[in-house]
Amino acid sequence: MDESSALEVTAVRAFESTEALRAQWTDADRAWASRAAAEVVGAQGSPDAYLARRASFALERLGEREAAYPRAVAALRWRPWVGSAIVGLAFAIGLFADQVGAAQRINLLDPPVLVLILWNLAMYAVIGVGFVVRYGDAAGPGPLRSLVARVAGGAARVRGDDGARQAIAAFGADWSRRAGPLYAMRAARILHLAAAVLAAGVLAGLYLRGIAFEYRASWESTFLEPSTVRSIAALFYAPGAWAIGMPVPSVAEVAAIRAPSGENAARWVHLMAATVAVVVMLPRLVLALLAWLVERHRATHFAFPADDAYLRRLLRGFRGGAARVRVLPYSYAPSAQAVEGLEQVIARSFGGSAAMVVAPPVDWGTDAGTEPAGAAGSTLAALFNATATPEREAHGAFLAALARQRSEAEAVFALVDESAWIARFGTDEARTGERRAAWRAACADAGVPVIFADLANPDLAATDAALDAAIGERNA
């Protein structure tokens, strides 16, 4: 998935995951976006194409209801002109920075490009040490990632209700985390290119002023002799001398220009320029190219985690049509109110077009060898009553039989209805915790994830999150 599509998918993910927006973005809207994207992409379309198209449709409809959403997405898109402006400014700074001064004399022991070269050598050392120290480890949040987060915070302060601000803030934080590595590499590419262009600007300014003014080369020192100065010059200008094939002047020539004497600085300017090109411009351009290659790959191969429950939920509907959920109550006949709550849970977690079938209750003590039917292509949910004490020979055997359907089913999980338990024991946290622990142990023994819900009055957001986590385990 490319960067633009990933940005929109991240935005819609945040908006659809914000409970406060349920009134603005209903289950019917979700189903419409999924259906419309599937029709456009087609059965042979890639998952990435489907997710991108669905996000585009969703943002378009959301934007019709609240203009803050498309503005927030636009605010976090990378602006290419920023990089161009930084590079252009770097060249201008280098071009107009007169490092020689009104005296128009170039000191061989303190050349105008000395600071430029030393600074870049220091940066190479920092880059090299950082690469070695962080090799194999994920880099922590840096200033660029923090900057993106601050931009997201600003985008959240737009006109709109609390739900909109909450959703946009969540989107900004999520995108800053996901795009941090890409933006960091993009910034590195821009800064490397800016450093190279800054050096080019310095050299251009030096040569342009050399046309109208004569630079004189000389040196002076209290302690150094001409032979030592020549050795220093030979070392400092060695890269440039090698690059253009111009030898560093001899000891006699260096001695002859000791202050107050001097000479036309043309050959020294050429040596300086060649040295800057070899030591600063060429390495920076290579680093910029490497950063661009990594940036390009990250921008065009934007991957979401394989275990992202939200995306898996969307893709289940794309690959297999409307989700099919088969509920298997065990020794429990759910009330009409519990069934209604169960329908809300399934619609919330699997989409409004999900087909839910509640099978007749399985009798207590059903032969453990009897496999539940209807597993192929469906999500299987074992439904239990929290008032029942889980027993290995009964509930455990049924869960084990259900777990054996994992290879055929889309997903397998257990749902413990706590509505009757709450009606009897209220909010007795200690007793509720003990009962939940017993059910968790029974489900863990069978390798089936479990969630708890008061189906008479379901907390849809909490149940949705718990179900996402349960399915995310892939019933391991």
HSE, side-chain direction, 13 A CA sphere, residue 130: 9
Contact 330, 399 (CB under 8 A): no
Smallest Cα–Cα separation from 314: which of 1, 19, 49, 21? 49
| CA dist., res. 467 & res. 461, Å (int) | 10
- Total tally of structural domains belonging to the chain: 1
Asked whether the beta carbons of 155 and 168 are under 8 A apart, the reply is yes
The pLDDT of residue 154 is 42
Range of the domain at 406: 322-472
What pLDDT is attached to residue 169? Answer: 85
Q: Could you tell me how many residues make up the chain? A: 476
Residue 385 lies in a domain: yes
3-16 helix and 309-320 helix, angle to the nearest 10 degrees:
100
Contact 215, 105 (CB under 8 A): yes
Q: What is the pLDDT of residue 66?
A: 85
Residue 168: the pLDDT is 87
pLDDT value of residue 369: 47
Does some domain include residue 273? no
User: What is the identity of the amino acid at 36?
Assistant: A
Question: How buried is 49 (Cβ within 10 angstroms: 0-12 exposed, 13-18 middle, 19+ buried)?
Answer: middle
Q: How many CB atoms lie within 10 A of CB 395?
A: 24
Task: Please report, to the nearest 10 degrees, the dihedral formed by the alpha carbons of residues 380, 385, 388, 392 taken in order.
Answer: 10
Query: Which domain CATH number covers 466?
Result: 3.40.50
- The residue assigned the tokens 């709550």 is 341
446 lies in some domain: yes
- The 8-class DSSP code of residue 433 comes to H
The answer to whether residue 444 sits within a structural domain is: yes
C-alpha angle with apex 150: 146 to 151, nearest 5 degrees?
A: 115
**Three-class secondary structure of residue 406 per DSSP:** coil
Q: What is the DSSP string of 61-110?
A: HHHHH-THHHHHHHHTS--HHHHHHHHHHHHHHHHH--SS-TT-EEETTS
The answer to whether 160 and 245 are in contact (CB under 8 A) is no
According to the model, what pLDDT value does residue 372 have?
52
Is residue 298 situated within a structural domain? no
C-alpha to C-alpha distance for 220 and 110, rounded to whole angstroms: 10
pLDDT tens-place string over residues 233-243? 999 999 999 99
Q: Would residue 412 count as lying in a domain?
A: yes
Flag whether 185 is in a domain. no
- Using CA atoms of 142, 144, 145, 148 in order, give the dihedral in degrees to the nearest 10: 160
Task: Give the global pTM.
Answer: 0.76
Main-chain phi, psi angles of 345, to 5 degrees: -65, -45
What residues of the chain score a pLDDT lower than 50? 141, 144-145, 148-157, 368-369, 474-476
Angle between the 162-212 and 68-75 helix axes, to the nearest 10 degrees?
30
Rg (CA), the chain: 34
Q: How far apart are CA 164 and CA 166, in angstroms?
A: 5
Residue 160 lies in a domain: no
The per-residue pLDDT for 409 is: 76
Q: CA–CA separation, 337 vs 164, rounded Å?
A: 32
Which residue, 77, 69, 34, 81, is CA-closest to 54? 34
